[in-house]
């Protein structure tokens, strides 16, 4: 009798998870843990910090490691405090679009500005899932949600494009259908310095996919053809809705920790 490969890294006592059937959060867990397995990384030296929302439950309580489940929007601020004091630990923030880009937007921008040495994974489900499907800053135009019952008219934000303009070292977006690309991207970013941001486009199975009349599996298959690598977006047919995936930027500038360290040393 074999066991799913991820289970050795999980707290068995909290399974089955409270995620909805088909929720893509579990796939993010798989991609992250596959990356950990392939890197032979030690979860002992990782601290997970998350906020409030469904994807904030990814590390806490599921992954067997140190985790800090903080206030709504404040994961990056708390993670910054942890990293500054324990730069030896790999501080990973996993949270959602509402938590990181709405209420937490200021902390996100400034951590990217500082090139703070954090790995941030934003699971973008296009809505506020946990609180019953309200619109979020990434909700696409036209989508009906509990607060946009006649169809969202507000313009959404493209978090990766915004962060591309900051001092962040690494910015990437993958669809939940890109399991292997996501896993490899996490591996690439895992031990880098500076601010690393990975968006996972994973529409909420309960509040978005279901109302499209699709199952979770059908949505993944649809995403195979809508998620286009950045280099090929121009070649996509006119008017076809595409999600641009890929690495938006990758640099290796010194991160905040190194800069602060130099600052301290410069004080004669």
Name the site residues for other proteins (rule: CB under 8 A): 1-7, 10-11, 14-17, 19, 21-27, 29-31, 34, 44-45, 47, 49, 60-61, 64-71, 73-74, 77-82, 84-86, 88-89, 106-107, 109-110, 179, 215-218, 220-221, 260, 263-264, 267
b/e map 214-249, b = 16+ CB within 10 Å: bebeebbebbeebbbeeeeeeeeeeeeeebbbbbbe
* Nearest to other proteins of 44, 161 (CB atom): 44
* Nearest to other proteins of 165, 233 (CB atom): 165
Torsion of CA 78, 49, 69, 130, to 10 degrees: 110
| Cis amide prior to 16 (ω within 30 degrees) | yes
The secondary structure of 157-210 as a DSSP string is --HHHHHHTTT-SEEEEEETT-HHHHHHHHHHHHT--S-EEEEEE---IIIIIG
Kindly state the tokens that stand for 233: 């977006």
Smallest distance from other proteins to CB 69, Å: 4
* Nearest to other proteins of 69, 249 (CB atom): 69
Smallest distance from other proteins to CB 76, Å: 8
* Nearest to other proteins of 5, 211 (CB atom): 5
Main-chain dihedrals φ then ψ at residue 166, nearest 5 degrees? -95, -170
Smallest distance from other proteins to CB 110, Å: 4
Tokens 């867990």 locate to: 29
* Nearest to other proteins of 158, 218 (CB atom): 218
Kindly state the tokens that stand for 6: 């991820």
* Nearest to other proteins of 151, 224 (CB atom): 224
Smallest distance from other proteins to CB 66, Å: 5
Enumerate the β-bridge partners of residue 200: 123, 174
Smallest distance from other proteins to CB 93, Å: 11
Smallest distance from other proteins to CB 142, Å: 25
* Nearest to other proteins of 235, 265 (CB atom): 265
Q: What's the CA gap between 21 and 148, in Å, rounded?
A: 25
Smallest distance from other proteins to CB 10, Å: 7
Smallest distance from other proteins to CB 71, Å: 5
Q: Which helix (H) or strand (E) holds 46?
A: strand 46-50
Crossing angle for the helix pair 75-85 and 256-266, nearest 10 degrees? 50
* Nearest to other proteins of 24, 128 (CB atom): 24
Q: In this structure, are residues 121 and 76 in contact, taking their beta carbons and an 8 Å threshold? A: no
């Amino acid at each position: 009798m074999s066991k799913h490969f991820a289970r050795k890294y999980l707290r068995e006592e909290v399974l089955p998870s409270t995620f909805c059937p088909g929720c893509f959060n579990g796939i993010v867990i798989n991609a992250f843990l596959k990356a950990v397995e392939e890197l032979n990384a030690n979860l002992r030296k990782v601290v997970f910090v998350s906020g409030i929302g469904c994807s904030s439950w990814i590390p806490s309580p599921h992954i067997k490691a140190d985790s800090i489940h903080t206030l709504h929007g404040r994961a990056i601020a708390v993670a910054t405090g942890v990293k500054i004091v324990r730069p030896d630990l790999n501080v990973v923030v996993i949270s959602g679009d509402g938590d990181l880009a709405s209420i937490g937007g200021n902390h996100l921008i400034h951590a990217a500005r500082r090139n703070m040495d954090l790995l941030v994974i934003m699971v973008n489900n296009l809505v506020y899932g946990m609180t019953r499907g309200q619109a979020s800053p990434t909700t696409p135009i036209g989508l009906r949600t509990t607060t946009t019952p006649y169809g969202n008219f507000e313009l959404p934000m493209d978090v990766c494009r915004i962060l591309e303009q900051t001092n962040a070292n690494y910015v990437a977006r993958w669809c939940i259908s890109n399991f292997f690309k996501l896993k490899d991207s996490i591996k690439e970013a895992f031990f880098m310095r500076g601010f690393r941001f990975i968006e996972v486009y994973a529409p909420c199975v309960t509040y978005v996919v279901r109302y499209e009349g699709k199952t979770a599996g059908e949505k993944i298959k649809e995403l195979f053809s809508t998620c286009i690598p950045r280099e090929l977006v121009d070649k996509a047919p006119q008017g076809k809705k595409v999600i641009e995936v890929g690495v938006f930027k990758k640099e290796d500038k010194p991160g905040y920790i190194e800069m602060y360290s130099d600052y301290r040393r410069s004080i004669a």
